[in-house]
Amino acid sequence: MNTLPDLSQLTHEQLLEFTRQLAMQHQSLAESNQELEKSNQQLDAKVQHLSILTQKYEHELALFKKHKFAQKNEHLTAKQIHLWDEAVEEDIAAVDLELERLNADKTDAVTHKATVNKPKRRPLPDHLHTIRIEHEP
């Protein structure tokens, strides 16, 4: 910005001209300020409009997800329920057979264990020398 002249050195006409220049600068700054405020208001309105659109689209997306992934799409038909029941019954029968087989194996193992003697240590052969060492407590 221009440096201010010494006002005491200026004549009356120079002071009037300086005053006119200051008034014109003030007016141009005021107009610029008004334009900036108008632009700011337009931008605020646009931001508000875009935020409303964002909320609208988020809501629509939530509705679409609810429609797509809602519980109604996971309902089973009567035929599917019947097939599922059959599969469960087959699984239960297979588990029962496995339990019976395991119980039979368990009883066989118990009887087999009772008949098998525990292995015992064999004595050393006669040709080996043995040395007995006793440790005092």
Distance CA 81, CA 111 (A): 45
Is residue 57 scored above 70 in pLDDT? yes
Residue identified by tokens 């087989």 is: 101
User: What predicted TM-score, i.e. pTM, was given to this entire model?
Assistant: 0.41
pLDDT digits (tens, 9 = 90+) for 5-28: 777 888 888 889 989 999 999 999
Query: DSSP assignment of 22-55, as one string?
Result: HHHHHHHHHHHHHHHHHHHHHHHHHHHHHHHHHH
pLDDT digits (tens, 9 = 90+) for 62-115: 888 887 877 766 677 788 888 888 888 888 888 888 888 888 877 776 666 666
Confidence of residue 59 (pLDDT cuts 50, 70, 90): very high
